[in-house]
Chains A and B, each alone.
Chain A
């Protein structure tokens, strides 16, 4: 990374952009293969793909990607063509921006913003616009219902997502993701600094709230009303085919990865390894973070494969009547502890 620092600004930016652009499909492929195909299959007592690529069907998703790109690009006659074409890109941009602030090592971060948490939560809600555009522009009743459901849901769950994080921010005293990781690395549990202080220990309620709210942000079961395939066929993606559908799919899975990474960073200590500092942490960090991401993602997908889905009104009630009051109480208690100790 010392090499990268000596490059001119435009070259550095280009390299960073390319890296993120590579991370999005890579993370989507990893999560898609490990969880959507294999874990899900084993939970449902079946095998999942076994043939493509030889070993346990590892090539399946790449093959699917190739298939999607070959497909005809159909735009419905009644559709609003420009908006219809733009919507998947908007959704993907939201995912792209999420990856900007996630640190994978002491220096392995695209942009260490002082307001990293704030930025991440802000851009994660950008996808609502894309979803709404897709739902509206498709000129399809199922899409419209799906888009509106998605908009209502994403806005409602943005609030518990933010409030869940406030406790962490208060305890760490910083909004920079890098700062939160450092805080956890240097923290002590009752004077014992062996593993630092993963904030999941003190902010366990916040962690659960964050998982629940990010589940809703990802529109996954039990909050998959917008895509409910037994009701709305495929929700706002009904009219999308080929690579445009691939964009939605990739954005969804990569966002799952990004939100899991943020949860791992905020609550599980991110890339931090005890006893390892400096350049060694730069090499080990991505692997440590990756392992924690898979842990959180497993939790997210486990819930997804187990639960039936909420109805729209129950979903709203769940956010406003349970998640938000609990989050507020959590903030209050955190504040009291912060002042007392």
Chain B
């Protein structure tokens, strides 16, 4: 899929508008600051848009309003302490942030968690994904003006959070993953409760498919809006559902061999050829349903045994470098750890998905209208903590 004719024309129009602004005769251009305080940015993202009427001729993204310096802070923490920090990167699916970091540390230490721990890790990972994407499905509606779905999303996400809380003790920031295994085993009765919660998740997906996705106005607002062709998406480093919605069949859960349970499961990677906002919504909705089925499978096939491998009391990671990335709810998330044999990492580079995902905005926003800015922002789905770290 190449650059569409509409995109090309919008680009030419924006070039022309750029040229006009500098000459003495000012046009009716208006610069609109969307954010840092704006309901649609879900945090402190700032989009500077130059408008001609309601059409965007030029747009840029300013981020960094929430930079907390996590990469630097990891250098003065020990390995077990780092998970507390990185919980807060993508705060809606905190457990999923911990897993790649722990895996990278385990890779350096050359240990592997026991099978039961791997399964529970994957279960919690997928629960975090469901909790995260459920909220996306709701807020996408809210950003398009449908106020009801977001409340349904909160209602059903609560069940997932309860399950996560029952295991880890934390609703938002579990801090549960340990090098070599997990902090605790599953509590009694948890498996049945989780299964009923998964049934509810699938019901929620069906409900939203009818209520929101089947709605003509929703389709008119999202179909053909914010089309990201595959090669553009790849060149901007998009990942996760955003790139799968552009037709690229790429999922790190399937495409790499990690010490997690995904390879044992029967599941499908969903893609959509269109690359527009609707496709991104559709792919995420399918993924939520798929994730709930994966959790069911894992609960059925949960191996018995220990949840903690043998690790020294004081964890020292041998010198070396390791890179582990996983398919997080927002896209590819990875940690590049440089260790010099100390108690904490010498350097830790965090590759978070949202930063790359929003970098495509200046390209995709040209030539769109103000309401479409919101659609595109909502459908690209970013978490501010994941952009700024």
Contact = CB atoms under 8 A, between A and B. Distances in A.
Interface in A210-263: 221-222, 224-225, 228-233
B145 A308 contact: yes
Contacts of B144: 230, 308-309
Interface stretch (A41-49, A114-122, A155-163): A41-49
Given A230-B145, A231-B370, A308 B151 contact: no
A305 interface: yes
A233 B369 CA distance: 16
B54 A44 contact: no
Interface string A296-314: 0000000001111111111
A145 B146 contact: no
A335 to B, nearest CB: 31
Contact of B54 (A45, A221, A312): A312
Contacts of B145: 221-222, 224, 228, 230, 307-309
B141 A308 contact: yes
A81 interface: no
Interface string B146-157: 111001100100
Interface in B199-258: 211-212, 215, 217-218, 220-221
Interface residues of A, number: 28
Contacts of B211: 306
B39 A308 contact: no
B151 A44 contact: yes
B151 A230 contact: no
B324 interface: no
Nearest to B32: A141
B169 interface: no
Interface in B339-389: 369-374
Given A305-B147, A308-B215, A230 B220 contact: no
Contact of B148 (A230, A306, A314): A306
A230 B374 contact: yes
Contact of A43 (B32, B148, B215, B371): B148
B152 A45 contact: yes
B154 to A, nearest CB: 9
Contacts of A308: 141, 144-146, 212, 215, 217-218, 221
B54 A145 contact: yes
A239 to B, nearest CB: 15
Contacts of A313: 369
Given A221-B146, A231-B374, A233-B38, A310 B151 contact: no
B39 A233 contact: yes
A231 B217 contact: no
A317 to B, nearest CB: 10
Interface in B116-143: 141-143
* Interface hub of A46, A230, A314 (most chain B Cβ within 10 A): A230
B40 interface: yes
Nearest to A311: B371
B217 A307 contact: yes
B16 interface: no
Interface in A77-94: none
A221 B218 CA distance: 12
B3 interface: no
B30 interface: yes
Contact of B371 (A46, A228, A305): A228
A224 B147 CA distance: 12
Nearest to A225: B371
Nearest to A44: B151
Given A44-B147, A308-B141, 14 more contacts: A44-B148, A44-B152, A45-B152, A45-B155, A141-B30, A230-B145, A231-B370, A232-B370, A233-B38, A307-B217, A308-B144, A308-B212, A309-B217, A309-B371
25 contacts: A44-B152, A45-B152, A142-B32, A145-B54, A145-B370, A225-B371, A228-B145, A230-B142, A230-B143, A231-B373, A233-B39, A305-B147, A307-B217, A308-B141, A308-B146, A308-B215, A309-B144, A309-B146, A309-B221, A310-B217, A311-B220, A311-B221, A311-B371, A311-B372, A312-B369
Interface of B: 30, 32, 38-40, 54, 141-148, 151-152, 155, 211-212, 215, 217-218, 220-221, 369-374
Q: Which 6 A-B pairs have the closest CB atoms?
A: A309-B145, A44-B151, A308-B146, A308-B144, A230-B143, A311-B371
